[in-house]
Amino acid sequence: MWTIIFIILTVGLGLFLYLKLTIYLHKRNYEKKHADIFDAHKAIGYPKLTNDQQFDILDSENTSYLSTLTKFEFIPTGLLNHYINIEPDIYYTHLKLQDLQTKMRFDPNHLIDGFFINHSDISYEYIFVERQRIEFKKSFDSYDQLIKYLVYDRLKLYAPEKYKYLDKKYYA
């Protein structure tokens, strides 16, 4: 009995360590591959972006503000950890003021790539369409819950190191 438990724990620990090592090596290779870009931005001290510029990056993936800071046009996503520093409540307020229900309205007859919102009488659905197929769908009881999810999801996606302790209970 103890032998089986020991084997299961050993295999589990081995898989965990393998996964951690794989993630570490991937991150190291990523940073090494784009070291020139990271170094160029470090050299200029990561200038602070305005809230509107950060909103544009989070909402539209528009990183043109960063492309003009150095000679490098390409912006690795890992670099955004140094530039996205907006307070979650400010981003939440920004999203509440946007007419996302209209801007991101889901049309089942016209499936184009992107994220959409489908509102029914009982729920709000956040839908991701890729290659004319629905790849992801998540339902929310209220529009407010959907907005909180967007805040959590986008901040964790674009600046995971900065927002690793973001309260999922509140924002997701």
pLDDT in tens, 109-122: 777 777 888 888 88
Residue 88's H or E segment, with its range, is: helix 88-97
Please report whether residue 103 resides in a domain: yes
Count: domains in the chain: 1
pTM of the model: 0.77
Residue 8 lies in a domain: no
Assess contact for 164 and 155: CB atoms under 8 A. Answer: no
Does a structural domain hold residue 121? Answer: yes
Domain assignment present for 158: yes
CA distance 146 to 138: 9
Whether 169 is in a domain gets the answer yes
Q: Is 80 exceeded by the pLDDT of residue 104?
A: no
Provide the angle, in degrees to the nearest 10, between the axes of the packed helices 143-158 and 51-60. 100
Structure confidence by residue, pLDDT tens digits, 125-150:
888 888 888 888 888 898 889 899 98
Cβ(151)–Cβ(91) under 8 Å? yes
Task: In whole angstroms, give the CA distance from residue 49 to residue 23.
Answer: 29
Q: Is the dihedral of CA 19, 21, 24, 29 positive or negative?
A: negative
* Enclosing domain of residue 118: 97-172
Residue 116, in any domain of the structure: yes
Domain membership of residue 165 (yes or no) is yes
Report phi then psi at 133, rounded to 5.
Answer: -130, 145
Q: What is the pLDDT of residues 19-38, one digit of tens each?
A: 989 988 888 888 889 899 99
Note whether residue 139 is domain-resident. Answer: yes
CB-CB contact of 86 with 54 (8 Å): yes
